[in-house]
Structure 1
Amino acid sequence: MAEKVKKRVAVLGPGAIGGFLVGALTKAGCEVTLVARPGTASQIAKNGLCLKTALLGDMVARPQVVENLESTFDVIGIATKANDLIPALSQIRAGIGEGTIIIPFLNGIEHIALLKKEFGKHVVVGMIGNIVAEKEREGCVVSSSTNVTIELGSESISQRALEEIADLFRPSGIVVSVEETEAKVIWHKLARLSVLAGITAASGKTLGELRKDSLWNSRLEECAREIAEVARKDGVEISADEILKQIETLPDSLTTSLARDVERADAGEVDAILGAVIRRADTYGIAHKTFDELFSLVRKRLES
């Protein structure tokens, strides 16, 4: 039997999620190319990518590091921040061939339409969940998460092709599922994420602190109701109770990357997550009073 040809895999963005993905693929035995900005690229090329993680262990990954792709790849994962996406696309354009599959692992929803407009049938919807990961410093990612998941979905790429991509990640310990629709992939994560990101960024509190506060608990419940209605209009049946039950399983210490950004006076993905939810709700004529309130509170924290 002929040996299975290894897929050529690249990851755009050496941040916390991009670094974690590179580590996972490396542990799974893949040869990975990391696409990074000039200064970061030279540093990681010299020192490797340090990972201190509960799931993958402690390791130094040594991907090939480039500033721009110059030949075609089978799979390209995108792990930039939403506000860095557009300028970063020029770094991967030459790597996209007829059979290339592009998987964005960004938070939010509006980036998908942008990428599909740019790259059409090549784009698969991907979400990484149950993960808290941070850059300890440039070129070093830390994560205490042990139950990391990836979901993939596409209406243009075959389930078999998606399963082949899933198999790239599975040996690392990440639980990967292939869903029937793109909307399911989006809302399985975004329904929970938008509530948590909004509440933690607006309050500056951990989940445990929020649980002890009746006002914030009420806001959390109202957000879950609003986002569940938006998801249902997008064709995904999820209830506010389901979202709240998912949140109940999370530790008191939990915060979000958006909350950490706001703490540093960095608007980060405020618009990509909260703004996008509000605009989606407007599209369907759904009330979003609580999300409006959170958005306003986040802006006040950033201004102060």
Structure 2
Amino acid sequence: MQIYRIDHVAQVTPDLDAQVALLEGLFGFRRVRSWNNPAEGTRGTRLEIPGSRGQAWEVVAPAGDGSALQTFLDDHGGRPGLHHVGAEVPDLEAVRAELEVRGVKPTDGTRGRWLEASLSPPEHGPGVLFRFRGPGSLDMCGDSADSVAESTTVDGPSLGIVALDHICQAFPDRDVLARWYHDLAGFVQVWRTADDEHPDMADLVLNIPGSSICWEVIMPRGEDSFIERFWDRNGAAAHHVTFEVDDWDAAMAACDHHDTPTFGENEGSTDGAAWKDTFIHPKHTGGVLVQLFWEERPGVWVRSDKVPPRWT
């Protein structure tokens, strides 16, 4: 199964306008188009992420009667959050066949334009939802109807985001999930922490072929790990999304301007170059835990010289 491009990350919310305003203001995303499609049960807006190299952020909300998005919100207690990752593939039927061989049953999208499936090993329960589309199909979120280009002018400072760096998923065993993604879709392990580097977690990073976005897997270690608590509540879900910012002080000033607190700040120096990272709680982002990082020189925050072991 081949993924040749990650197209977007989609966030579901009951209040589309408020969420779009937050992403335009604090995050500095730029609205590209909006749509209202009650026939497919969705309203939405596509936003450009600065420096994203073709990846976008989409916000979707229920529209019309019997919307699947409303069912999703109801199943999650009405809470907004990350809904799916949109990916392009060269052969949609080949994706279906590969998933079914591995025990994953995909769901057909509207008029067969896309497939939807959780890509985690099925024996571990639902994980991060993916939507796949093939060549010649440009719509995965109902945006084929009433889609209009929009532009807005936003006052005030933004975070100064320069890239969507990675999506992070929680899982009990990082190597089990990394091998699954490698065998299923060719994800390549490029970085990992030593087993005992952190007292409560271990992680690794996978490159998604054809995409500038990476995939991080974090697993619990020790007693009372925060990842264990997250797993107990959410299973193999996305834990957070990470963005790089251009200027750390300017990003923190933007958070202050928008009354958005941060927590869990870390800082250090690698090979003489400084780095910093911090988090914004989901209640201030529309249901997604957001990590921000800054590095004085490329490649010092996540070291590329931590070579992963060969899998056998």
Structure 2 length normalisation: TM-score? 0.28
